[in-house]
Copies of this chain bind each other. A is one copy, B any other.
Amino acid sequence: MSGEDAPAQQQNAVDQKQETKPAEEPKAEPPKTESAPAGTAEAAATPAATTDKAPEEETFTYRALVLTGYGGYDKVKLQVKKGKPALKAGEVLVRVKACGLNFADLMARQGLYDRLPSPPVTPGMECSGVVEAVGDEVTDRKVGDKVMVLNRYGLWQDVAAVPASHTFLIPDGMTFEEAAALPVNYITAYMMLFDFGNLRPNQSVLVHSAAGGVGIAATQLCKTVKDVTVFGTASASKHETISSGGVTHPIDYRTKDYVEEVRKISPKGLDIILDPLGGSDTHKAYNLLKPMGKLITYGAANMLAGQKKNLLAVAKNWYHQFSIHTLSLIQGNKSVCGFHLGYLDGETELITQAMNTILDLYKQGKVKPCIDSTWHLEQVGEAMRKMQERNNIGKVILTTEPMPEEEKKEETKKEDKKEDKKKDDKKKEDKKKDDGKKEEKKEEKKKEEPKKEEKKEEEKKEEAKKEEK
């Protein structure tokens, strides 16, 4: 996942005349393929294989999601690329079946994640698929192997050239969706709980967004240790699911103060707190630790407010960013850790160890990825919205299966609706600007929630219709 591991096919990308960030290491010679004209979501429907008689390296086409610039959901576009990715030594070519969505992808779209090169670039840190070709010096993977892949970026496309060391064999019985849902969330949860957290029997853990991808993985992993108490935050509608998944005490963070709720049950505080929120929540977490407690912060979800970069939210998060003096740590006997898989460049051994343990637990039936929903590449915007608005329970997955023509028409209608919604949003925003008072804005947002909920209901009904078809 280091700079040198950037997928080779990035270099064939269309629209690459805008230079991407210089890579940390010099690149291999670019493949001698020509750039294809910029594709659109419609053009993407063209089958990947062409009937052209030119050598496959040149006629080969594939679809790729491309972040074309920082901003809203529509900044990620489906494009067709031409030219088969060349394999470097140690790499394999994977025919991608399913991809996982992560919070870092949402941050990246807004320009808030520095591990993704500048647009245009293909996002995607994890996928599953089948090995279609192996490069020189690859000994432990062969054509036909079903694998899951973890990479710094570049996996949201039909094919990806990746280092063989970034692939893991999919165990029998695991679906491609599950395999795409596993790497980022489970390795993150595993390393936080068992490396930094040093989780042991009888301890207590707070899991924020317990219905999210990392939340569910963390809960399942907590349950592999005897008598661990899991406090999990989620909106009330998700409590039944997270309880049955292993959360001992679900807390509705929208209506209750989670600190108070935890203190009621565990007055001395907690042993481990996983914090994906950042800002003022990190302060709360620190104060909620027991002596010898560990706070593991792994994100800044509080920065994400709305589709586009919200400067106020970003500034607030920076302003409230947790900073700690060692004397305070000493007097409290506390630990503060930061984790982000995206920055674990080159730590192949650590990651492989974690993955092997997780796969063993999977084979023993102790962990199992939970899929919220699967979307076609064309629907990536909707998929991102679902995750960003916290409407998911479990993992949001993209599939490379071609989208049936009928659904596409339906999608177009939805697109129109979205356009209307956008205009609505715009109007609302203009109104807000007129108001100019931040606090009032918040109040309004609350009032708007029910409207949004209605809209979502409508969307759900439409989904249901689609399902019937």
A interface residues, Cβ below 8 angstroms from B: 191, 195-196, 198, 278, 282, 291-292, 294, 297-300, 321-340, 343-345, 347, 350
| Further 10 A-B residue pairs, CB within 8 A, beyond A198-B198, A331-B340, A333-B343 | A191-B292, A195-B198, A195-B292, A291-B347, A292-B347, A298-B330, A299-B330, A321-B325, A333-B338, A336-B336
- The answer for the CA separation of A347 and B293 in the assembled complex, in Å, is 12
Known: A298-B330, A321-B325, A338-B328. A343 touches B291 (CB 8 A): yes
Most buried by B among A294, A330, A345: A330
Q: How far is the CB of A343 from chain B (nearest CB, A)?
A: 5
| Closest A-B pairs by Cβ, 8 of them | A329-B338, A330-B338, A335-B337, A198-B198, A322-B326, A297-B326, A330-B340, A323-B325
- Interface secondary structure of A, over-half rule: mixed
Q: How far is the CB of A28 from chain B (nearest CB, A)?
A: 25
- The answer for the CA separation of A110 and B196 in the assembled complex, in Å, is 35
Closest to A334 in B: B338
A323 to chain B: which residues have CB within 8 Å? 323-326
Closest to A196 in B: B335
Q: Is the CB of A350 within 8 A of B292?
A: yes
Which listed residue (B297, B325, B333) contacts A339, Cβ 8 A? B333
Q: Is the CB of A330 within 8 A of B195?
A: no
Q: How far is the CB of A311 from chain B (nearest CB, A)?
A: 17
Q: How far is the CB of A359 from chain B (nearest CB, A)?
A: 20
Known: A196-B292, A323-B325, A326-B297. A338 touches B331 (CB 8 A): yes
Q: How far is the CB of A193 from chain B (nearest CB, A)?
A: 11
Q: How far is the CB of A383 from chain B (nearest CB, A)?
A: 25
- The answer for the CA separation of A370 and B334 in the assembled complex, in Å, is 29
Q: Is the CB of B300 within 8 A of A327?
A: yes
Q: Is the CB of B330 within 8 A of A321?
A: no
Closest to A297 in B: B326
